[in-house]
Each structure stands twice: as structure tokens, then as C-alpha cells.
Amino acid sequence: MTNARDIMTPDPEGIRESHTLREAAVLMRDLDVGALPILGDGGALVGVITDRDIVVGCVADGSDPETMLVGELADREPVTVEADDDVREALSAMQEHQVRRVPVLEGGRLVGIISQADIALSLSPIETGETVEEISE
């Protein structure tokens, strides 16, 4: 059985709620990622913010990313999987919730992230295609 731990990108960089959206955007650029986990005290996952959140929720509304905080746009109920879950649970979660990334938890702490790219590198072309199709509906 392949589990989430086997295909995840380990130790993803996170950001705090008190950082600005500009800081989040710079970090996304520097890391070449489209989403950041939002971490609370002790490394607990408290949400996720995406590049799309910043554009649609701040820039398009005429707000200032220099002053708006990550916590103001955070998705506070991110879809997650456990590190020892079968990878098919991650696929199902991504498809059901139409998300491109799923944080991976172990003991309540963030240990990784599974993205569409991780799926493409790890699973068959058929499974990858089905997942991308479901997410993109």
C-alpha cells in the first residue's frame, strides 16, 4: 500500500497569520509554490492560503497586500489527510473538495503536502488524469 507519506513533499514551508499578504506572495515566489500552510503555535496547521486567494480576495477588491494579513483570507478548514492514510484517500479528498493541494498531518502537526505534481510523479497516468479532471470540474 502506498500511503500519503510516500508521495508527499515533506516539511513544507509555512507562514503565520500575522504576516502580510505581500510577505506571503514573496515567499510563494521564492519557493515556487502556489499555496502556503498557515501555522499556529507549535507548528499546528490553522489554515491554508493560495496565490488565488491573494489575487481574488485582496488585489481584485482594491485592498492593500502590504497591510492585509494572511489571517484575514485564510481558509480555516483546510482539507487534510494523515501521513499513514492510503494515497487513494488523498486522491478522493482532492477530487471531492476540488483542491489541488492537501496538507498531510501526523499527530496534529503538519509534516507534508501532496500536490497535483506529486500525484503525477507517483501514480499511473490514468489515475493522475482522473484526479486532475475531477479537481478541475
pLDDT in tens, 65-124: 999 999 898 877 899 999 999 988 988 898 899 888 999 999 888 999 999 888 877 766
Please give the pLDDT value at position 75.
72
Is the per-residue pLDDT at 131 higher than 70? Answer: no
Enumerate the β-bridge partners of residue 69. 20
Number of domains in the chain: 1
The Cα 13–Cα 65 span in angstroms is 20
Condensed to tens digits (0 to 9), the pLDDT of residues 44-72 reads: 899 999 999 999 999 999 999 999 999 89
- Among the listed residues 2, 8, 14, 11, the one whose alpha carbon sits nearest the alpha carbon of residue 116: 8
Residue-number span of the structural domain to which 107 is assigned:
4-135
Enumerate the β-bridge partners of residue 45. 39
Backbone angles phi, psi at 107, to 5 degrees: 60, 35
> Residue 17's domain is classified under what CATH number?
3.10.580.10
